[in-house]
């Protein structure tokens, strides 16, 4: 994986790196002890979202 300096201005897809590579290259720390979405209530999808998903998601 290129260093951050080598990558300056270059776009990268998620498939270009792994989480462990990103952690190492950017000195990141992964914290999985906090549930960020614990207090978020579910929301029903809108009709337009349901339509878009029905038309574009093929299972």
Divide the 59 residues of the chain into consecutive groups of 10 and give the mean pLDDT of each group. 69 84 91 91 96 88
Name the domain count of the chain. 1
Given this model, what pLDDT does residue 59 score? 67
Residues near 45 by beta carbon (within 8 Å), at least 6 away in sequence = 53
Residue 20 lies in a domain: yes
Question: What's the predicted TM-score (pTM) here?
Answer: 0.44
Q: Which residue reads 């790196």 in tokens?
A: 17
Residue 44 lies in a domain: no
Tallying the residues shown for the chain, one arrives at 59
Given this model, what pLDDT does residue 2 score? 64
Residue 59 lies in a domain: no
- For 24, the domain range is 1-30
Residue 41 lies in a domain: no
Task: Tell which residue, 35, 30, 8, has the closest CA to residue 18.
Answer: 30
Residue 23 lies in a domain: yes
Token pair of 23, please? 């952690």
């Amino acid at each position: 994986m290129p260093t951050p300096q080598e990558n300056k201005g270059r776009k990268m897809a998620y498939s270009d790196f792994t989480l462990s590579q990103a952690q190492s290259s950017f000195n990141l720390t992964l914290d999985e002890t906090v549930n960020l979405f614990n207090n978020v209530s579910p929301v029903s999808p809108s009709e337009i979202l349901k339509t878009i998903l029905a038309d574009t998601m093929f299972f």
